[in-house]
Amino acid sequence: MADPTPTPTPAPKTKRTRSSINRGHLDEIKNSRAVAKAAIDPANTAALAAVEFDATLPAQITTLADATETSIGKLTGTRAQKTEMTAQETTARDALFAVIAPIQTAAKRKFTGDSGKLRQAYFIGDNLAHDNLHEVQTAAIAIRDRLVPGANNAPPQDVLPGVKAVQITALSSAITTYAANITAPGDQSNENAGALQAIVANIGKLAGLRHQVQLAAEQAFPWRNSGVASIRQSFLLPTDRPMPGK
C-alpha cells in the first residue's frame, strides 16, 4: 500500500547573497564606540586619569567611527555590484587570491581564541574567492600593509608564521601584476575601490585606538580587583583573566 503521507520533495537551496557590507567592519565600529563611551563615563575617568590615560582618545574614536560609517553607507549606495566579470578579470582575481590564501592560513594559525577577531584584518570569512577583482585587490593591499615595515622603519603590525620576505614580495608583485594586466575600469569602479581601501584603513586605525583605550582600562581596573567586573565588561574586557595580548 502506498504511503499516505509521502515525504515532500525538499525545496532547492537558495544561493546566499553576499552582503556588500562587511559585518566585521560594522562590529569594529560598534565595539569602538562602546569602549569610547565607557572611557568618558564619569565613574571611570578618575581611575583612567591615574594611569595617565590620553583623554583625547574617545573623541578620536567617535569622530573616526562616524566618518567611517558614513563612508560605508555611501559606498553601499553607489557601488554597482558586478554579477559577471570578464574572463580576464576572473583569471586575475583567482591568481591574486591564490597568493593571499596561504597568508590567510598563517593568520588563522596566529590569531586564535581571544585574538581571533584580528582575523578580520585578513578578510578571513569574507569569501574573497567570490568577490570581484577590485575587492580582492583592495584586500591584498590591506593585508600587505600589515606585513611590511611602517614609516621610519617601524616594525610591521603583524608577523605571521611562515610568512617571510618571499611571500610578502610575491604579494606585492601580484598586486601590481594583476592590476596592470586588466582593462582599466570605469571612473565609478575606481572611486569605489579607493573608497573601500580607505574604509579598510580606517577600520584598522579604529581598532588601534580601541586597543589603546582597553589597555589603559586593563591597567586602571585589573581583573583581580573586586567590584570591577561590570566596568571591565563595559570596556569589552574579560572579567576572569587579563586582556589578551595582540
Residue-level pLDDT at 234: 96
Alpha carbon 5 to chain centroid, angstroms: 50
Burial class (CB in 10 A: 0-12, 13-18, 19+), 61: buried
Residue 194 near residue 135, CB atoms below 8 Å: no
- The tens digit of pLDDT for each residue in 73-101 reads 777 655 444 446 788 888 888 899 999 99
- The tens digit of pLDDT for each residue in 172-189 reads 999 888 766 554 444 445
How far is the CA of 152 from the CAs of 96, 148, 149, 155, 156, in angstroms? 29, 12, 8, 9, 11
In one letter, which amino acid is 156?
Answer: P
Residue-level pLDDT at 191: 56
The per-residue pLDDT string of the chain (246 residues; one tens digit each, 9 = 90 and over) reads: 555 555 554 544 444 444 445 778 888 999 999 999 999 999 999 999 999 999 999 999 999 999 988 888 777 655 444 446 788 888 888 899 999 999 999 999 998 887 777 888 888 877 777 777 877 888 888 899 899 988 788 899 899 999 999 999 999 999 888 766 554 444 445 555 667 778 888 898 999 999 999 999 999 999 999 999 999 999 999 999 998 865
Q: Is the dihedral of CA 190, 22, 139, 17 positive or negative?
A: negative
Residue-level pLDDT at 176: 87
Provide the 8-state DSSP code for 15: P
Compute how many other C-beta atoms are within 10 angstroms of the C-beta atom of residue 10. Answer: 6
Closest CA to 82 of 201, 186, 179: 186
Residue-level pLDDT at 152: 83
Q: Which phi and psi (to 5°) does residue 222 adopt?
A: -60, 145
Residue-level pLDDT at 77: 53
